Homo-oligomer: A and B are copies of this chain.
Amino acid sequence: MTAETPTRRRRTGGRKGHADRAGYAAIDQMPWRLIRNTDRPTEPLDEDGVQAIHRGAMHILGQIGIEFLNEEARRILGRAGCRIEGENVFMDESFVMEMVGHAPASFTITPRNPERQLIIGENVLTFGNVSSPPNAWDLERGKRSGDFETYKEFLKLTQYFNCIHFAGGYAPEPIDIHPSVRHLDCLYEKLTLTDKVAHAYSLGAERVEDVMEMVRIAGGLTHAEFDATPRMYTNINSVSPLKHDHPMLDGAMRMARRGQPTVVTPFTLAGAMAPVTMSGAAALSLAEGLAAIALLQYINPGCPVAIGTFTSNVDMKSGAPAFGTPEYMRATQMTGQMARFYGLPMRSSGVCAANVPDGQAMWETSQSLWAAVQSGTNMVYHAAGWLEGGLIASPEKFVMDCEILQQIQRYFEPALWATTEDEIGLDAIREVGHGGHYFGCAHTQARYQTAFYQPFLSDWRNFEAWQLDGSVWTAERAHRTYKRILDEFEAPPMDDAIRDELQAFVARRKEEGGAPTDF
């Protein structure tokens, strides 16, 4: 294969100029923008179906109960009037619906760069990087355990692509950093290499408190300013079926008290941790999600929350999880209907079961991303870089996924379906007439530079031109692209005093031993 010779745009301006420009030099990408999803959602359930799933969720909450493996949470819910039996908590419908009614239908999250502020809710669609895979894979190095250097590479990709709106969990998990201080090193890199909304793992008191403090410092905020509005977010998963564990609840309650958002995402694989039917799995997932949301709303009424779905199916031959399947698409769409029923922002994911960034990876990922669009999802986790059911972070896959994400961004630009007289262009049609062509006419010349989506990775040349240039398949092109991006990456600007304060905080907390690791 011969080397590609991409057209590189000259960069202008210093470091300060980066945030304002559409892209760096390695590729010509679309500008940062919050996407407004103006499509009517795809809704498989009729009104009876919505009510049936709601009744199912309420029955689970009221009659079967959710175990809260956290004494403080049970004490609070007991005070709220819930019936407690051992670790099991029963919530009746009126309590749940009253609490859910406190939750805002939308909220903002403002990171250290206020130009990267997100709206979570309304019809806004946002994308985040793959989060939490223990391993990495790329074409050159193959599969290997996650490490800190690779983690930083993915942070750079996360920052680089304008179509990635928030910096999610670790990708990959850097197991070469001791768990007691991993959050300190990881968040330091995340807050300096990116200026986007940051995620914090909800793994016990110390980590959550440390990360909130670091986000506050990075933003140059007082404690009051931090508490005044969402600045970061966490995500908690239930231990399906029907349990919430101690550290996740602890972290979420701490976040809620300071007005910071929690996404509650049960991980319900139908046929394994949930009923084999998609409506049953969705009802179980919603019950688990609403239980935690009711707790957080009781603690701090009106605090920002979102409901997540991770409902998919397993391969019934092997028990292996499957993603981006027809069942996954319908479960996501149904959960979207229920999120609108409860008035909550929604999270879903960009996922696949494939082990390498090949054809299967892309049809499964396409199906999960378009299901996110169809469901009215507000936050798409794992939107770039996910392989092997979430066990692998891949830079090639990251770059390939961003080509799809940009196309979704473009898909929602109203110019695509505008029908003014000028756009229908009857004068041009008359001018070109019968059998002519439109390349040269004024109507085309005035628009051709912005009329169509311009890919950075797709190769639209004919076979012979593509062959002459080395017959490079998509994954290999993505490999070259990600390396060019890393070569040219420059971190977003940060005030030296803030950087010093962050470093001092990390150093002090390391001296103190970081966080306990016995959770």
Contact = CB atoms under 8 A, between A and B. Distances in A.
Contact of A241 (B59, B64, B435): B435
Max chain B Cβ within 10 angstroms of own Cβ: one of A60, A316, A458: A458
Contacts of A436: 241
A329 B416 CA distance: 10
A272 B441 CA distance: 10
A341 interface: no
A361 interface: yes
Interface stretch (A103-111, A192-200, A460-468): A460-468
Contacts of A319: 439
Contacts of A458: 353-354, 360, 364
Nearest to A48: B419
B438 A273 contact: yes
A433 B242 contact: yes
A52 interface: yes
Q: Could you tell me the dominant secondary structure of chain A's interface residues?
A: mixed
Contact of A315 (B355, B437, B460): B460
Contacts of A420: 52
A316 B448 contact: yes
A320 B460 contact: yes
Copy count, this protein chain: 2
Interface string A413-435: 10011111101111011101111
Contact of A276 (B60, B276, B451): B451
A179 interface: no
- Tell me which of A143, A326, A424 has the highest count of chain B C-beta atoms within 10 A of its own C-beta: A424
Nearest to A477: B360
A423 B370 contact: no
Contacts of A362: 359-360, 362-363, 366
B326 A407 contact: yes
Contacts of A320: 460-462
A88 interface: yes
A43 B40 contact: yes
Contact of A416 (B52, B330, B388): B330
Contact of A329 (B242, B329, B411): B411
A358 interface: yes
Nearest to A449: B316
A239 interface: yes
A438 B359 contact: no
Contacts of A361: 359, 474
Contacts of A272: 437-439
Interface string A303-331: 00000000001111011111001110110
Interface in A35-81: 38-40, 42-45, 48-49, 52-53, 56, 59-60, 63-67
Contacts of A88: 434
8 contacts: A64-B429, A241-B438, A271-B444, A274-B438, A275-B428, A354-B459, A355-B462, A355-B463
Interface of A: 38-40, 42-45, 48-49, 52-53, 56, 59-60, 63-67, 88, 135, 137, 143, 239, 241-243, 270-280, 283-284, 313-316, 318-322, 325-327, 329-330, 333-334, 353-367, 370, 388-389, 391-392, 400, 403-404, 407-408, 410-411, 413, 416-421, 423-426, 428-430, 432-439, 443-444, 447-449, 451-453, 457-463, 466-467, 471, 473-475, 478
